[in-house]
Amino acid sequence: MATAEQYLRPEVIRQVSRLDLRAKFIVEGFLQGLHASPFHGFSVEFSEHRKYVPGDDLKDLDWNVYAKTDRYYIKKFEAETNVTGYLAMDLSASMAYTYRQELTKFEYGICLAAALGYLMIYQQDPVGLVTFDTAIKTALPPRSKRTQLGTILAVLANLKPVGQTDVAACLHQLVAMIRHKSLIMLFSDLLTDSGPVMQSLHHLRHRGNDIILFHILDEAEVQFPFEGIVEFQDVETDRKLTLDAPGMRPDYLQALAEFRDFYKTECAKANIDYVPMDTSVSFDRALMEYLLQRQKRF
């Protein structure tokens, strides 16, 4: 029987077939780890509080929290605590790839999105869902009711990654849909022209939205473990290329590093949280990014 924290590992969560249970186990494993870590202050128990600073009204101090922590916390007003979130999922065929991992990039991203949706509803934050390939396919407006989680999970569980994608055009579409400043969580392998993608991200930021960009690659796309003569096929165009893998490895790894560094640098300039991940990485990293982003707002 797996312990709660083991469910943060992709190879363990793969053994759970139902997406609602995957989300639940990932979040419970994450929260259990938080309670035993230096990040205890981020736990859901204190999610509606912030630390006291000189000048705060003493009548707003929460003495129950003081009794537990020996620290002064202010209970925040409801309007101050809500973060409206959008989960934005890339449906491109390239997301269906895996080489030797238990989860494809798409399955990994779906698990992340489901867990983040679960965590947001747990904290009474409104959350919506957008799915896209060359155009937006699904758009669920943000809500914080418990029934919203079931709706989101039902859509996520039935998604299939097929065809080509146009990340930039869809993010521009998303800008027009969003009515209030929101936290956009984007799940994509970004295997497309990076210039237009960054322009669309700038457009989202210009409208006052915060963004966490989860750049999801397969573990093999990051490590390039191939040997001998290998035939590679572009799943979106069916174009094939035969290469000497060991001879190609140094150039490939350099190109990958430049690819990630471009997004890391440009996102930093735009104050966008860029989170490079691969399908072997524990899920807790993504959930911590969400809580850190949430904490920045208050």
Q: How confident is the model at residue 42 (pLDDT cuts 50, 70, 90)?
A: very low
Q: How confident is the model at residue 46 (pLDDT cuts 50, 70, 90)?
A: very low
Mean pLDDT taken over the chain: 87
Q: How confident is the model at residue 45 (pLDDT cuts 50, 70, 90)?
A: very low
Is the pTM here over 0.85, yes or no? no
Query: Among 26-40, 128-142, 175-189, where is mean pLDDT lowest?
Result: 26-40
Query: Is 225 a residue whose pLDDT tops 60?
Result: yes
Q: How confident is the model at residue 68 (pLDDT cuts 50, 70, 90)?
A: low
pLDDT digit string, tens, across residues 76-92: 644 455 789 999 999 99
All domains of the chain, ordered by start, with CATH?
4-79 (no CATH), 83-296 (3.40.50.410)
Residues whose CB falls within 8 Å of the CB of residue 50, separated by 6 or more in sequence, listed in order:
73, 74, 76, 298
Looking at residue 236, its pLDDT comes to 67
Q: Quick one: what percent of the chain has pLDDT higher than 90?
A: 61
Q: How confident is the model at residue 127 (pLDDT cuts 50, 70, 90)?
A: very high
Spatial distance between the Cα atoms of 97 and 71, rounded to a whole number of angstroms: 48
Looking at residue 44, its pLDDT comes to 44
Query: Is 64 a residue whose pLDDT tops 80?
Result: no
pLDDT digit string, tens, across residues 147-196: 999 999 999 999 999 989 999 999 999 999 998 899 999 999 999 999 99
Query: Is 8 a residue whose pLDDT tops 90?
Result: no
